[in-house]
Structure 1
């Protein structure tokens, strides 16, 4: 009887050992399978490639051709006010906001913007080329040559040689300037020096850099710049298609 009891305990111990081995093998197999699955997953994960935008070249483009600025650089900022009601007219006069201008103006703007970037800022646009038909809309709302150029004579904006701009940091933060865009008063004049030094420095940087690259300023509007020689270009009524933007 004693021998039978010992034999039974031995068999029970053997059985428990076999079960333990089976569980251990199961854990090992599970771990191996998990590791294999992880390897497969890692092998199939592909890091997304960041596609750099491809910009057009101005090489071979005639200086008087109208082009879309955003096709040549993503280094600018935009707040195209006349495509909104946030302007002195209190009316939206563009169907959609877009910055077109003549190729020669774009060339000068690209060079000026590279200079600005060295100072940690970049150009932000309030207005660029303006179709003559829009000039008529503006004249109808405010028929006063002190604020709106007579559309018969036309504005340099209508010729693709004028831009209304300010500066923002490379992250898009506003740089302090004398006034908001389209403020009509002495505070917006270039010869007004009764301003904080920071604002005077920002206005000076804008003016001197733009003049360095072929633009001239308007005494009463710190934001307005005309490309030299652009006043000789014809008035244009080229219109961009909002559906293609």
Structure 2
């Protein structure tokens, strides 16, 4: 075969292959053109995932800095490390009556400061303070006296109690998971089993009461003999009886 014929044959083969390649490219271009377009962000790591729920912003807590020690404050506004079971806003109490319009825990600033310090120490040991009662308006004291007019159980509202001064709290301890420690009786149990000087109790109960008592006394509170749950702030006994009332949700 002559060189010219070989050259022409090879040239024809090349042209054929180029035509096939071009046809395949046109098919690919057509498929790409018809396919749905997906925008890929330049930096996908910085793009928000819209399938995830919106981030819930943490409510900012207030600070006690600059407030007068005798100002009344809502404790939950200054810490979310407490637990509440405000019994007098229910009928689950020794009165068998609801005497608060709604459940809130208010104290004076100096009481709150001492409670925050005590609770910080409890948390380091694996516990938290749980409240049964805090500041009590004097008008509520009158309601309680009308139901149980016995100074052994309810302070005479004419003189008032330290609860009415914003310097007393009724409390227990719970674990960080919310489980109450065994204190031997329920809140508002008026009998010898609730006395601090009653040592005829299981060792665990005595240890739980001692933990509560020693820690609260360390931070400026003192207890009363007949109620393991009741603590008065030493610096709050000379304040005036108050009738400050908080607003309830409408």
TM beyond 0.5: yes
Q: 1:154 aligns with which of 134, 157, 160?
A: 160
SS at structure 2 position matched to 1:243: coil
CA contact (8 A) 2:220 2:235 kept: no
Q: 1:193 aligns with which of 183, 188, 199?
A: 199
Q: 1:45 matched to which residue of 2?
A: 49
Q: Does 1:171 align with 2:153?
A: no
Looking at structure 1, the residues matched to 220 and 47 of structure 2 have their Cα atoms a distance apart, in angstroms, of 55
1:50 Cα shift?
4.5
SS at structure 1 position matched to 2:100: coil
Looking at structure 1, the residues matched to 114 and 176 of structure 2 have their Cα atoms a distance apart, in angstroms, of 19
Looking at structure 1, the residues matched to 240 and 112 of structure 2 have their Cα atoms a distance apart, in angstroms, of 17
Looking at structure 1, the residues matched to 147 and 131 of structure 2 have their Cα atoms a distance apart, in angstroms, of 23
Looking at structure 2, the residues matched to 44 and 82 of structure 1 have their Cα atoms a distance apart, in angstroms, of 47
1:225 Cα shift?
0.1
Q: 2:220 matched to which residue of 1?
A: 214
- 1:132-151 map, 5 Å: 132-151=138-157
Root mean square deviation, CA, Å: 2.9
Structure 1's unaligned 5+ residue stretches are: 1-17
Q: 1:239 matched to which residue of 2?
A: 245
Q: 2:115 matched to which residue of 1?
A: 109
TM-score, length basis structure 2: 0.82
SS at structure 2 position matched to 1:136: helix
Q: Which runs of 4+ in 1 moved over 3 A?
A: 25-31, 33-37, 46-50
Looking at structure 2, the residues matched to 36 and 108 of structure 1 have their Cα atoms a distance apart, in angstroms, of 56
Structure 2's unaligned 5+ residue stretches are: 1-22
CA contact (8 A) 2:61 2:78 kept: yes
Looking at structure 2, the residues matched to 43 and 227 of structure 1 have their Cα atoms a distance apart, in angstroms, of 53
Aligned length: 229
TM-score, length basis structure 1: 0.83
Looking at structure 2, the residues matched to 76 and 103 of structure 1 have their Cα atoms a distance apart, in angstroms, of 16
